[in-house]
Structures are given as C-alpha cells and as structure tokens.
Structure 1
C-alpha cells in the first residue's frame, strides 16, 4: 500500500513538472516550416568548452577603463579572467566593418556624423573617441583620444586567444536601416570575415535586428547565431510585434494565426520561433525581461524545457556606465536571481566588479605562499568607488595638521576625494590615538613617547602651527583619538586599510 501511494505521488510530481511545458508547447498553432529548428551549439564551440557559469563578457570591451569598442579595451581583458567580449559593427560607405555603437557619432566623438554614410578613410580622418565621456550623470576619463578600429583588426589579434567574441551587427532594427541592401551586405561581410579567420567556434553573431542575423547565417551556415530582446518588445500597448516580426520569412502564417500583439510576442518567445526560422542557437535578453509577468514568468530553465534543452540564454547589461552607485548595488540581487534561473552569460560594463562578485578576479602572482588571502567584502565601499581612489594622506595635511579631526572633516567637502588614511597607536591606557610618530616632539614640541603615555597626557600636547616640513597652519590642535562613531561620521569616505597600526 505504501509503495502504491509512493508511485502515485511520483506520477503526480512528474505531471506537475512537465504539464506546464506541454501545455505551453501545445497552446500555439503549428505554423512554422518543418525545417525550422533550434541549432544546437557545436560540441567544439567555445560556449561549450567554457564550462563554468556564468560566462562574463565585457560589454563593448572594457569601457570603464578604455573607451568602448576600442582595440586597447579588448586587449586589456586578456589580463583578466573575462571569458570574452561583445562588440558592435557598422558597415561603412566603402563596405568596411567598423566598430561603433550608435549611428550618430556626436556623443562619443564630438563630431556629428552618420557612421554608415562615411568611408573608413573619412572616419580615421574626422573622428576620434573623446578622452572624456559622460554617461548619464557619470563622467569617465580615458587619458587620451582613440581611433575607431575595424573588426578585421580585432579578429586578427584574437584569432589565437581563448576568448569568446560576441559580434553585434548595427543599427538595431529594420526601421532604422538605410535599406535591405545594407542588411544583406553587412550580414555577408560578417559571415565572410569570420570564415576568413576560421573563428566560427570562437565567435557568435547576433543583433536586435533578426534580418541581419538571417543574412549572416545564410552567408556562413557554420556561424552560431542568435537574437537580442528588448524589454519593450513585451509591452503590447507600445510595441507592434506583428509589424516587427510578421513579415519575417517563415513567420507570415503565424502572424495571421495569432492576431493579438502580446500573444504573438509570447508565441515567438516561448516557442523560439524567431530563432528556429534561421536555425539560431541562443538569445540574450535585457536583464529586466527575466521572470517578467509580461512573458509568462518564464525563467531560463523553463525556456530550456520549451526549446528542448538546446538553447543558450544570456543577459545584458550588468553594471551599466550610466547607473548610479545605488542602482548598481541594487542590481546585485537581480544578478543572484538570474543565476538561480540558470542564465549562461552576463554582459557587463564593469567587468572587474563582476569578476570579483564571482570570485574570478585574476591573481597577480602564483600561489607560492601558504595560507589564505583576505578578500574585501563585496558590500564594502571600496568596490563602489571609481578607480583610482583619491585618498587624503593623514587627512588634509596641506591645509590642516596631519591626523587631525578638522583635516579629516574637510575632506567631506571635496567631491573628488574618496577617503583618507590615518595612523593609530595604542596608548599606555589602551586608547587608540591618531598620530604618526612614536615620538611626539617633532609635531608637538613635547618629549613624550606615545605608547608609553596615557591618552590624557598625550591630549595635552598640541600639534604646532608651523612644522619643519614648511607648512604653516592657522591654529594648534590636540592629538585626535579614534572614536566609536568614526564609521557613522565618515560613512561616505574610505578609511584606508593601509593605516599604520
């Protein structure tokens, strides 16, 4: 009897697991061509060879360190444990594949041109990526201007590297295209250049524009191809999925069979219909789409079930350049949820932070010393500050005497200062006094040894107005004691971990 109950329970659990998938698959009309299918990622492809998850992909290179889509930015990732990088390509007027993200060039170069209306010679002559750029309210300094490289330059450099290359064809959608001739030409150009360097197993080709993806796949059937999805593609009130997808080869009958716009989008997504029409292998969604009620609360694992376990899913863009520190911190939970849902890849602007989050930051030296190395906690203020950090040495010693409360507090008014360093001694009565030298005479004129004196004795020694490193200060100060409320008073500044203790 017990065995029978157990068997019935097992059957119930199995049905509860597979029934939603069966219902989801069977509730849509059978309108796709018989040869439409998801193409499994080849066994020898780098997506399969890299077995850890998630794969960490640099968005347009390493854009917090170097300008986006630059040769230096991509090469810099070789010194990290990043798994690859994503780049954007336009086809120029003279049919060159140039790296750039937007059709208009003004934001990144200061010169207002349309990139696909220029020859590459004109681009080299007229355009430089600015040394200083603004994303949202954030300003980034890159040290110098840089040129726009060709895709050929990047593929040639990385042909022997163990890096996944995400090639995104631009512009995003057919609405923004010059014409179908451009679509077919850029698709063919990308397919041919990947073939030229024999990089089919180290690259993937995708776009928000599925027409370009189809053109690339037709040009080079060995390509591993896929699609991006926007969050607004699942907003029926503002997005016309029929206009966008209804005329796509292989989807015409489905568009007529499912007249509701949101239902049609759900059909495309849940069945992988777009991918199947051009034999795609993966999708990459805005991170906000995952587990979104507008798409039936689909998780990555559910989608794998719907697609027969053959599709690979990723998310963009993690730690965006324009985000505030608060927004980036809030994204941590979102990333954790995506990992629970089984997302394969994360495309990030801040590659270093994402590597640290998953404990994959490259160690600078080999493990030749025994013992554990300390790790700065992920929620520490250190990680949220832009590098390099600007730290006041012993406070603000050019304005106030070193290691004084006024010196530390003055830094709160400096927007460009990230923190301060201070020095502490343990006094005879076990107080932590802020001072640099064991002997107080140099700074106070008093012949006292700080760790042989009580704090009361030390506090009577005033730091001089004029000190022999030729800095004159407006008044004298008593030595400062480290207080219990230091953390709350200076929560927006980093107290350097290198303080002399």
Structure 2
C-alpha cells in the first residue's frame, strides 16, 4: 500500500521543499534535515532539463536561487549541475533574506529517491506555471524515475499541468497523482467569467458560490480535471478547503493534501502565527491527509503534543 494511503490519526506533516528554515529549498541538506526531525515526508519540485534529466528545483528562472540568469528547462544537466544554490535567498518584497551556512548543489530526482528509500514520503510536484502541451513529456520522465527507483509506494505526483499528469498516468498507472489548485487561479476565473458569462451565472446561482474563490472551490469539488487525468489525490491551497471538501474526495477514495502552512516566503502570505495555528487545527478536524509546511517541526509538535 502507498504510504500516503495508510490509516492515520492526524495529517501527515510534509516539509515544503524540505526544511527551508534550516537549509536551502529543494536541496539534499534540507531533505536530510527532514529525516533528522522525524517528520513524515517532504514536498519537492522538479523540472526536466533540455536533455531529459529530472532535476529538483522550484523556479524556472535560475537567478533567484543561484544568482545566474537562465531557464532551467533550456539547460542541459551538465549546465545545471555546475550551478549552486546561494547562501542568501530572498524571503519577501522588502529585501529580507534567509541566510544559510553554505552553498548547495542542485540534485537529480533519482538521487533523492535513491537516498531517501525508506525514510520519507514524497510529493513530487512537476512544476508548471501554466499548462503546456509541449512539456507533457515531463510526466513520462518522472514516471521513469519513480519506476527505476522502486518508489511507487512512497510517492505521489502533483502538478498544475494536466498534460504532464496525463502523460505520467498513461506511462505508469500505479502512481498516485493529482491536479493542484491554487487560490491565485481566481484571476483567471474572473477573465473566464467575462468571456463565458453563462458559466459564471450557473456557478453564482449555487448556494455558497458567490465569489471567485468559491467558484474555484466548486471546480475543485467537481473533480473534472481529476476524472480526466485519472487522479487519486488532489493538492489544494488550504484557503480553498471548506467544510465538505475533504469528505467529498474521501467519498471518491481520493486523498487531499493542503499547502502551505507557516510559510517563510511572505511575499504572498501574511497570516499571523495564531491564524496559522488555528488553520492547522481546522485542517486536522476536516481530516486532511497531508499538510505541507515551511516549519514542519512546529506543525509536528502541534499535532503530537
């Protein structure tokens, strides 16, 4: 049985991009710290390089993390392997930085899965800032790595790109995968509503769906994308989860993962500590299956104290 599906009394705690308060995001140092802390798992991000290697990295442009400008999807693995993640990483729009002890290299997904064989559950997010048919092969490449490393029972794969997900599912149907929903999708929904007013009208007539955030919640709960790609999990920004969202997916035998609590990157999130604590308790009560957090130690302590 896949580890994400095993019975649990609390949400699984996943370090978002590792443990970014201790080590740079998406690095082996951060993943090893997650093992040391005894948390349940990690979330990490991947891109495919120009020559078809799957690298663990968050941004498509390498400049924020490495200081070197370039598009990772247009580089070869040899070029990427020479880059280093800097000791100072921007934290917000006010010029604040998170500072670390040393530079770190960028790992391949294969080496991460090989090293963490029995230590951590892993959500592999196939990174996409918009769906692109031309990049669908990333799904197949990720499926190949999961198959090669024998990781199917401890990994789920998520993405904002349904083309990648469909490609992955077509290649290796045993993998648990799912579409991801973000509350930033509201901007796009507003444009769709203007172009297709009959759709906006239909949703606005439903009880509790009077704004664009609840419009996305409605799309989420209908699971249309999930049915299209054959999903068995769903990743959801926690603000989109209402009182019956989790139960609707559990009724379909699907898992719900929420992100991101206690964020260290405050450029888009400004919730207070007390609000984050309250949200962690709410998600626990709703029986969310896993929660991604930038402070996994704090969240685990909250759930186990």
Conserved? CA contact 1:240–1:261, under 8 Å? no
**CA 1:262–1:288: 2 relative to 1, 3 Å:** farther
1:313 shift after superposition: 1.1
1:99 shift after superposition: 0.9
Could you tell me which residue of structure 2 aligns to residue 222 of structure 1? 174
1:284 match: secondary structure: strand
Could you tell me which residue of structure 1 aligns to residue 44 of structure 2? 87
Deviations 1:377-411 (A, max 9, x none): xxxxxxxxxxxxxxxxxxxxxxxxxxxxxxxxxxx
1:274 aligns with 2:262: no
2:84 match: secondary structure: coil
Could you tell me which residue of structure 1 aligns to residue 192 of structure 2? 240
Conserved? CA contact 2:58–2:127, under 8 Å? yes
Deviations 1:239-265 (A, max 9, x none): 53899xxxxxxxxxxx9xx74387385
Of 284, 300, 310, the match for 2:246: 300
Runs of 4+ in 1 over 6 A off after TM superposition: none
1:125-274 mapped onto 2 (5 Å cutoff) = 125=82, 127-136=83-92, 137=94, 138-159=96-117, 161-174=118-131, 177=132, 180-183=133-136, 185-234=137-186, 238-240=190-192, 259-260=199-200, 263=203, 268-274=219-225
Q: TM-score, normalised by structure 2?
A: 0.86
Deviations 1:88-147 (A, max 9, x none): 11000111101111111111111111111111111122x211111221144222101111
**CA 1:236–1:124: 2 relative to 1, 3 Å:** closer
Task: Flag the structure with larger Rg.
Answer: 1
Count residues with an aligned counterpart.
289
Q: Which runs of 5+ in 2 are unaligned?
A: 204-214
- Counterpart CA distance in 1 for 2:142 and 2:87 is 29
Conserved? CA contact 2:50–2:74, under 8 Å? yes
**CA 1:314–1:241: 2 relative to 1, 3 Å:** farther
1:285 aligns with 2:230: no
**CA 1:236–1:142: 2 relative to 1, 3 Å:** closer
Deviations 1:365-386 (A, max 9, x none): xxxxxxxxxxxxxxxxxxxxxx
1:236 shift after superposition: 7.1
Conserved? CA contact 1:57–1:83, under 8 Å? yes
1:201 match: secondary structure: helix
1:221 shift after superposition: 1.0
- Larger helix fraction of residues: 2
- Counterpart CA distance in 2 for 1:275 and 1:325 is 30
Q: Which runs of 5+ in 1 are unaligned?
A: 1-43, 244-254, 292-296, 361-501
**CA 1:262–1:341: 2 relative to 1, 3 Å:** farther
Deviations 1:335-375 (A, max 9, x none): 21222222111100111111121126xxxxxxxxxxxxxxx
1:49 shift after superposition: 2.5
Q: TM-score, normalised by structure 1?
A: 0.54
**CA 1:71–1:266: 2 relative to 1, 3 Å:** closer
Deviations 1:472-498 (A, max 9, x none): xxxxxxxxxxxxxxxxxxxxxxxxxxx
Conserved? CA contact 1:226–1:280, under 8 Å? yes
CA-based RMSD? 2.5
**CA 1:189–1:79: 2 relative to 1, 3 Å:** same
- Counterpart CA distance in 1 for 2:110 and 2:280 is 33
- Counterpart CA distance in 1 for 2:178 and 2:299 is 24
1:288 match: secondary structure: helix
**CA 1:337–1:348: 2 relative to 1, 3 Å:** same
